[in-house]
Chains A and B, each alone.
Chain A
Amino acid sequence: MSVGTPRGLASSGQKPIAEILHPLSAAEEPLSVTVNLGGDKTTRVEFDLPEYCVRRRYQDFDWLRIKLEDSQPTHLIPPLPEKFVMKGVVDRFSEEFVETRMKALDKFLKRIADHPVLSFNPHLNAFLTAKDLNKRQVLALLTKVGESVKHVAGGYKLRARPAEFCAMGEYLDTFTQKLGTIDRIAQRILKEQSEYLTELREYGTVYSSWVGLEEELRRPLEGVAGCVTTCCAALEDLGENMSQDFLPVLREYVLYVESMKNVLRKRDQSQAEYEARLEAAILRKQEDRTPMPVEVEKCQDKVECFNADLKADWERWQSNKRQDFKQLLTGMADKNINHYEKCQVAWESLITLLQDKQTEDKTSETN
């Protein structure tokens, strides 16, 4: 599945492949995207048709995410781009904003589609196929399907968290901290580059103004002015790139980490609940000789399931994270290389131009 222009679709084999077409004109509804299940016709049984084309708004994605969280609390649900954007600060109708959001929504769907459990979720199915998500019947139907595991809000104290989950928590804390630092550095670089760009532009205009004074030096000066202009354009591209592709991904991962910490908390809660119930049951057993209540066993199952799901998801998440950051950072390196290459080409062609002129002059002198 992808949001926006068709891109390389990552899904393998069994999963539905969809394309999210470009959002409808901003005049209508910002970010009303079209989800298109098409391409390689889906081979998944639960989809009636091989192709679907539906319109979704951001709040529909939000709905999906909430539903997934509720129905699959033991799994790590990918994050959505931030819901609220300050009206004054960001232009919600600007092309760049829309583009950035689409990429994030695209990633969101892809991650869910890739997940061995989440991709089978009926809410996802509804999301991808229902003509109108707001129809009550659809909602009513869905709430009966699957059992939402209620989690007890607070109240139970955790005895001993298994070491691996402690490690996860610590890792996430440090990781999110480092992400924040990288974000700040990247923003600082953008600021410095933008100021550099301003000065560089003025620098170019001074060379241009010099041209008018000279005869012989006209060409070299024009050449230098031209190169400076080219470098300015290349720098602009680099900056755009960083703000549109690099920073959003960083921020997305921060959100991801937040939701993961939530899941860890829920796990702690279910473990705490189990331990509490177990303790109570043991006490009662000692007194009344009643057998172990079913709820306690269910609780134990729940905890063990949770732990297993979480461990599996964690491994998947680490692996995906590695790929994502590898891609992100090599992308950043590529853009910088690209920038320097553009500048180098410009300056080299100037030298060639001037050297040619020199040999041209020399030969005309000797003639």
Chain B
Amino acid sequence: MRTTTGTLPAQLTTAAPRPDDDGRLWNEKGQFPGYVSNDFYAFGGSSGLSCPVTGAHACHNPMVERGTDLLRKMEINVAEAEKRTGKNTVNMQETYTVYLIEIRPADTVPEGGTPAAPDTLWRRYSEFELLRTYLLVTYPYIIIPPLPEKRAEFVWHKLAADNLDPDFVERRRVGLENFLLRVASHPVLSSDKIFFLFLTEEKGWREAVLETGFQDKVDSRLKSLSAMLRVKNPDKRFTALKHYSDELNTVISQLLRVRVKVADRLYGVYKVHGNYGRVFSEWSAIEKEMGDGLQSAGHHMDTYAASIDDILEEEEHYADQLKEYLFYTDAVRSVCRKHELIQYELEMIAQDLVHKKQQKEELATGTVRIFSLKGMTSKLFGQESQEQRESRLAALEQSIQEGEESLKEKNTECHEFVQTAWEDIERFKEQKDKDLREALISYAIMQISMCKKGIQVWSNAKECFNKM
């Protein structure tokens, strides 16, 4: 049961190659050259459900923006999953799942021709994780799309929480495809070279990622935490965003938790009706005219009881859509934290500069305004010589100049960060509103479908009762 949201509608796949593609795939910065189109185009997913009243499509997968060069060139699918065994880092046998990534050129197939075979490679979940970590570190001002959950959480009792369970693997496959499409359709992330290699180079990719040295850029947890606590002038917008993100996290968690309980209960209601099937059948054995009607009605009760399995399976897609945004809140929080860190560093540099300038003033004028060890020692051990003073002054001057340079740099960094981050945040907000809206609509469509099934079964049963 593959979803095919990796494919674009026909009119998009016939886009001609871009004029500035002169054979080079990426430029010196390691970026894929291209422009970003600003129009968003939403297209429906491949789900069979559509609302008969309004014709709206129930979409399993979120809207994917077009307009990135990458998606113009290729279609991306996570087609299959397979079990493998091998030795892990501690030389022990382990079983794991690998996922097949398929890349197809986005050109249309000529009439009567056969579609080109896709380029394929296998990736396991840990490689996806590595990619994501790389993206997180390299683009800290971007809200990086989340991966599907590592272990099944918020599980409704019938579904297994086992990582090797086929249903879980299938849903994970869909989630991984979704992740790739999100990245591929992002105006900034889609140009990343490492991402491109992830899709095209099976063997050498790991080395390539490590070579970028991204691990060195990882901010320590401690650093981030202390930054959070000590920022003097937090940006109000970021504070508000973090607050919203935390609240959204809470509410979606709650929703997922309660939804599981609701599903459990509904399952019980439907299944008990199956008992009617049996008793009607037994009862029909002692009846004459009533027998046939009772027996047939009993079959419909069995059908009713069985129908809940598909209904709840369908609802899992809705839960997955909610989960994606639950995990997105973590990504949002990351961006906010990174901003805090930069802000904190900026404040530290500024503070340090002020301090140095005051020291210089002191030294120049001879007055001691701030306590300093040097000042103390000179008081205790006698004044230093003029030469010593001048060399110290020169050193301070140098330090101050350096400080001013780094302040300017940090300021620019902060400024750029804020600008690029807010661009992405606005983009994200629109995406979130659109996606969740569609998710709610598709949920409503699911409910309607469930009601219709219920009406159908009970109407059939009623007909049988009428024939009693």
Asked whether A206 lies within 8 Å of B466 as measured between CB atoms, the reply is: no
* B258 contacts across to A, CB distance below 8 A: 199, 202-203, 206
Residues of B within 8 A of A188 (CB): 272, 275
Contact digits for A157-176, partner B, Cβ 8 Å, 1 yes 0 no: 00000000000000100110
Query: Taking the nearest CB of chain A, how far is it from the CB of B332, in angstroms?
Result: 13
Find B269's partner among A192, A217, A221, A347 (CB 8 Å cutoff): A192
Q: Which residue among B54, B269, B276, B433 has the maximum number of chain A CB atoms within 10 Å of its CB? A: B269
Name which residue of chain A comes closest to B248, CB basis: A213
Instruction: Name the residue on A nearest B271 (C-beta).
Output: A192
Chain A residue, CB-CB nearest to B265:
A196
Whether the Cβ atoms of B465 and A329 lie closer than 8 Å is yes
CB within 8 Å for A196 and B268 given contacts A336-B454, A347-B451: yes
In the complex, chain A residues 331-360 whose Cβ is within 8 Å of any chain B Cβ: 333-334, 336-337, 339-341, 343-344, 347-348, 350-352, 354-355
Q: Indicate whether A112 reaches chain B with its CB closer than 8 angstroms.
A: no
Chain A residues positioned under 8 Å from B390 (CB to CB): none
Q: How big is chain A's contact interface, by range?
A: 35 or more
When the two chains form their complex, are residues B276 and A354 in contact, meaning their CB atoms are under 8 A apart?
Answer: no
Q: Which of B259, B282, B445, B462 is within 8 Å of A334, CB to CB?
A: B462
Is there an interface contact between A227 and B268, defined as CB atoms closer than 8 Å? no
Chain A min CB distance to B466 (Å): 6
Residues of A with C-beta under 8 A to B293: 326
- Chain B proximity of A207: nearest CB distance (Å): 7
In the complex, what residue of chain B is closest to A327 when comparing beta carbons? B465
Bound CA span A189–B273, Å: 7
Interface size of B in residues (CB-CB distance below 8 Å): 52
Contacts of A333 in B (CB 8 A): 458-459, 461-462, 465
Whether A210 lies near B444 (C-beta < 8 A) is no
Nearest CB in chain B: distance from A202 CB, A = 5
Determine if B251 is an interface residue (Cβ-Cβ < 8 Å): yes
Contact A351 B444 (CB under 8 A): yes
A195 contacts B276, C-beta separation under 8 Å: no
Our pick among A178, A213, A220 for the contact of B247 (Cβ within 8 Å) is A213
- Given A213-B251, A216-B433, A322-B468, does the pair A224, B443 have CB atoms closer than 8 Å? yes
24 sampled A-B residue pairs with Cβ under 8 A: A178-B282, A181-B275, A185-B275, A188-B272, A196-B269, A202-B261, A203-B259, A203-B262, A206-B251, A206-B254, A206-B255, A213-B251, A214-B433, A224-B443, A224-B444, A322-B289, A329-B297, A336-B454, A337-B458, A340-B452, A347-B451, A348-B51, A350-B444, A354-B441
Q: A196-B266, A344-B452 are in contact. List 9 more A-B contacts (CB 8 A).
A: A202-B261, A207-B255, A220-B441, A329-B468, A337-B462, A340-B452, A344-B448, A347-B448, A351-B53
